[in-house]
Amino acid sequence: MWVKICGIRDLKTAGDVAALGPDAIGLNFYDGSPRRVEIDVAAEIVRRLPSGVEPVGVFVNHAVEDVIAIASHCGLTTVQMHGDETAHDLSELQHRSPALKIIRAHRLGREGSRGLADYLAECRKLGVRLMALLVDAHVDGAYGGTGKSVAWDEIAPNRREADWPPFILAGGLTPDTVATGIAAVQPWGVDVASGVESEPGGKDFERVKSFIDAARRAQQ
């Protein structure tokens, strides 16, 4: 089970979280997030991370050239597009920086998974290669990290393995609920931010450890 701890803002937290053994950490560059990290701090975090922990840059409606510039400055090889980016935006990003791996986030709202199949079909038509698809909860005016859960029963019956890239479950997961979410949806990976925090952006390391352990046990 691929496990990502998202919303790391400083060097000490990055080191302490990395020592607990997640597969990835998320570095959020969205100005509207309480988990936003300064670009130079992110670059230093990437330099200090152990080789087994992958840094993922999280972007929300950034211009393609800004994504490329920040990823290059920080040494990122994986980016998570978490805003309203179109399939054409992803195609342009891939064309201009083909070495970047792309995770596309989809915020699941009242409409359910309708529209997601069409979006993924458009990506395939344009030749976009997605590393993974992350499904988060939709909250008006917010782009992730809300603590709101995804409707697991909406995902499970509509997920088609042949059509979806590797699937990451996010949205309201905690150490107490991640195993249930994994059992319900059978994702490739899980992502958490607020569910392992003592305050927005402030990670509770006991909760981080419990989350990672619970996710790994659920896979066995």
* Mean residue pLDDT across the chain: 88
The domain made up of 2-219 has a fold known as TIM Barrel (3.20.20)
d(CA 136, CA 78): 18
pLDDT confidence of residue 144: 47
**Greater model confidence, 40 or 140:** 40
For residue 9, give the nearest of 208, 207, 204, 201 by alpha carbon: 201
Task: Give me Rg for the CA atoms of the chain.
Answer: 16
Q: What's the Cα-to-Cα distance from 63 to each of 56, 66, 182, rounded to whole Å? A: 17, 5, 34
The stretch 99-128 carries a mean pLDDT of 83
126-142 per-position pLDDT tens digit: 999 999 999 876 444 44
pLDDT confidence of residue 3: 98
pLDDT confidence of residue 141: 47
Pull the structure tokens for residue 101.
């791996």
160-180 per-position pLDDT tens digit: 555 779 999 998 899 999 999
pLDDT confidence of residue 152: 65
The stretch 170-195 carries a mean pLDDT of 92
Pull the structure tokens for residue 4.
């990502």
Residues 201, 34 contacting (CB under 8 angstroms): yes
| Predicted confidence band of residue 220 (pLDDT cuts 50, 70, 90) | low
Of the given ranges (52-56, 82-86, 156-160, 212-216), which has the lowest mean pLDDT?
156-160
pLDDT confidence of residue 140: 45
pLDDT confidence of residue 151: 62
73-100 per-position pLDDT tens digit: 999 999 999 999 999 999 999 999 999 9
55-78 per-position pLDDT tens digit: 999 999 999 999 999 999 999 999
d(CA 194, CA 204): 10
Is the pLDDT score of 145 beyond 90? no
| Predicted confidence band of residue 148 (pLDDT cuts 50, 70, 90) | low
